[in-house]
């Protein structure tokens, strides 16, 4: 039986990445299913809302982006419009991909209640401890597991944490980190002078802890890349530093060579996408101890230093700025990352093909 992939992406304006970058990631995922299915592959549908106008669909090879509306489109209308595009699946099995266990999963469950022959894959990005902070979200996820065909985790440590609970251990699953394009990530030789923050400036990344640690190094230039609800407070508390605001992927590729060390203060990092991007750009990392950071540090201890207290973070930052890692360590990371990414995306495609 042929399968068609359907990515459900309501309100992508809430995502840290641009709409185009988020859709480009779905295009990477879909390319692996295309390889798995060969001549039977049909372009995946990417149903999305949250932009003022449609993203140019011609830039994608393996997905068909379908714009359902702007930021004003609520979940009910997203569901209604989704059903109009899925009402005639022609006997195909639809594999509904929910990018998070919350709103997209709710939409997927409602679609599956109206259209026969649907499988649902849920992607879980956060650590178990982080999700449990919201009992409503945690109980919703657990209650829906009997209707979920497969789970996607982003790291082995994260998967192990979840599968220590019986309900999660019974659902077919795969570990597939968030894909990153490795093109244009090699160091161009610019002098690195900054301590960097890269990401959405919100509580989940604890930007005020970042500010506290950065202020302990008054002579080190600071560069904050990103935007978010805590931007004003972070700007007010940082004694000196440059703020770029939100940037697209092309601009970020130009910024990475300016950063000497990335400081990550996110308390719950199940995978560490930004950490990996930094290492691909030959930027060492000092990260608060979390599942994703622990996994990276265990494999590449010269590149990723962990801390619990601000004093430990400052000591690591000083050491890395005075004695940067050898480029061979970054080369080893790149080789490992490319192999891991290819293998994990192939595993995800096989799971979709069997769902």
Residues 158 and 233 in one domain: no
Is 184 domain-assigned? no
pLDDT for the residue 248: 80
Predicted TM-score (pTM) of the model is 0.79
pLDDT value of residue 292: 79
CATH number for the domain that contains residue 52:
3.40.50.2000
Count of structural domains within the chain: 2
Tell whether 166 and 315 lie within a shared domain: no
pLDDT value of position 343: 94
Report which of 178, 220, 228 is spatially closest to residue 198, judged by C-alpha positions.
228
Same domain, 171 and 211: no
Same domain assignment for residues 173 and 278: no
Whether residues 329 and 198 share a domain: the answer is yes
- Candidates 247, 158, 233; CA nearest to 196 is 247
Q: Mind listing the pLDDT tens digit of every residue in the chain (355 residues)?
A: 678 999 999 988 776 667 888 899 999 999 999 999 888 899 999 999 999 999 999 999 999 999 999 988 899 999 999 999 997 667 789 999 998 888 999 999 999 999 989 999 999 988 888 888 888 989 999 999 989 999 999 888 889 889 998 889 999 999 998 888 777 666 555 667 799 999 989 998 999 999 999 999 999 999 999 998 999 999 999 999 999 998 887 888 889 999 999 999 998 776 788 999 999 999 999 999 987 788 899 999 999 999 999 999 999 999 998 899 999 999 999 999 999 999 999 999 999 998 8
Do 297 and 350 sit in the same domain of this protein? no
Same domain, 140 and 223: no
DSSP states along 77-144:
HHHHHHHHHHS--TTPEEEEEESSTTHHHHHHHHHHTTSSSEEEEEEE-S-HHHHTTSHHHHHHHHHH
User: H helices within 216-326, ranges in order?
Assistant: 231-237, 249-255, 273-280, 291-299, 310-322
Instruction: Please tell me the predicted confidence (pLDDT) of residue 121.
Output: 96
Residues 90 and 118 in one domain: yes
115 found inside a domain: yes
Residue 187 lies in a domain: no
Q: Are residues 214 and 137 part of one domain?
A: no
Domain that holds residue 39: 3-179+339-354
The pLDDT of residue 125: 85
| Inside any domain, residue 185 | no
Q: Is residue 188 part of a domain?
A: no
Same domain, 209 and 98: no
Same domain for 348 and 331? no
- Whether 189 maps to a domain, the answer reads no
**Tokens in use for 279?**
């290492």
Q: Supply the pLDDT for residue 189.
A: 58
């Amino acid at each position: 039986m042929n399968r068609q992939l359907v990515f459900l992406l309501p309100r992508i304006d809430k995502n840290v990445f641009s709409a185009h970058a988020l859709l480009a990631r779905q295009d990477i995922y879909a390319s692996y299913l295309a390889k798995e299915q060969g001549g039977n592959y049909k372009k995946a549908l990417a149903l999305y809302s949250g932009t003022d106008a449609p993203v140019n669909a011609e830039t994608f090879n393996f997905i068909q982006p379908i714009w359902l509306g702007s930021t004003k489109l609520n979940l009910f209308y997203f569901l209604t419009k989704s059903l109009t595009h899925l009402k005639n699946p022609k006997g195909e099995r639809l594999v509904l991909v929910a990018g998070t266990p919350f709103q997209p999963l709710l939409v997927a469950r409602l679609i599956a209640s109206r259209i026969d022959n649907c499988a649902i894959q849920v992607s879980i990005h956060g650590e178990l401890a982080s999700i449990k902070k919201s009992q409503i979200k945690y109980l919703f996820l657990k209650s829906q597991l009997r209707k979920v065909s497969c789970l996607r985790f982003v790291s082995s440590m994260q998967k192990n944490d979840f599968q220590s609970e019986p309900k999660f251990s019974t659902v077919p699953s795969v570990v597939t980190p968030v894909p990153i394009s490795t093109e244009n990530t090699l160091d161009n030789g610019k002098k690195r002078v900054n301590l960097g923050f890269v990401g959405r400036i919100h509580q989940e990344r604890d930007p005020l802890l970042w500010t506290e640690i950065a202020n302990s190094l008054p002579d080190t230039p600071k560069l904050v890349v990103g935007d978010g609800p805590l931007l004003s407070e972070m700007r007010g508390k940082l004694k000196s530093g440059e703020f770029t605001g939100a940037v697209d992927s092309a601009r970020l590729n130009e910024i990475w060579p300016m950063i000497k060390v990335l400081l990550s203060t996110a308390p719950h990092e199940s995978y560490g996408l930004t950490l990996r991007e930094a290492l691909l750009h030959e930027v060492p990392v000092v990260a608060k101890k979390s599942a994703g950071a622990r996994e990276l540090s265990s494999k590449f201890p010269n590149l990723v230093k962990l801390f619990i207290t601000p004093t430990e973070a400052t000591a690591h930052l000083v050491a890395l700025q005075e004695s940067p890692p050898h480029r061979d360590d970054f080369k080893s990371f790149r080789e490992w990352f490319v192999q891991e990414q290819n293998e994990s995306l192939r595993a995800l495609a096989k799971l979709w093909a069997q769902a």
